[in-house]
Homo-oligomer: A and B are copies of this chain.
Amino acid sequence: TGVATMKFRSPPVNSLSLDFLTEFCISLEKLENDRACRGVILTSAIPKIFSSGLDITEMCGKSMEHYAEFWRAVQEMWLRLYGSNMVTVAAVNGSSPAGGCLIALLCDYRIMVENPKFSIGLNEAQLGIVAPFWFKDIFVNVVGHRVAERSLQLGSLHPTPEAHRIGLVDELVPEDKLQEKAAAVMAQWLALPDHARQLTKSMMRKAALDRLVAHREEDIQNFISLISKESIQKSLRMYMEMLKKKKS
Contacts and interface: CB of A to CB of B under 8 A. Distances in A.
Interface of A: 108-109, 124-131, 133, 136, 140-146, 148-150, 152-155, 167, 170, 188-189, 192-193, 195-197, 199-201, 203-205, 231, 235
A188 B146 CA distance: 17
B189 A153 contact: yes
11 contacts: A108-B150, A126-B192, A130-B203, A131-B200, A144-B145, A144-B146, A145-B204, A149-B204, A154-B188, A155-B192, A195-B231
A127, A201, A203 — most chain B CB neighbours (10 Å): A203
Contact of A109 (B133, B136, B150, B195): B150
Contact of A204 (B124, B129, B148, B154): B148
B124 A196 contact: yes
A126, A145, A150, A170 — most chain B CB neighbours (10 Å): A145
Contact of A203 (B108, B127, B136, B192): B136
B125 A196 contact: yes
A149 B141 contact: yes
B130 A192 contact: no
A203 B77 CA distance: 22
Nearest to A129: B196
B133 A203 contact: yes
Contacts of A145: 140-142, 144, 204
Contacts of A189: 153-154
Contacts of A192: 125-126, 153-155
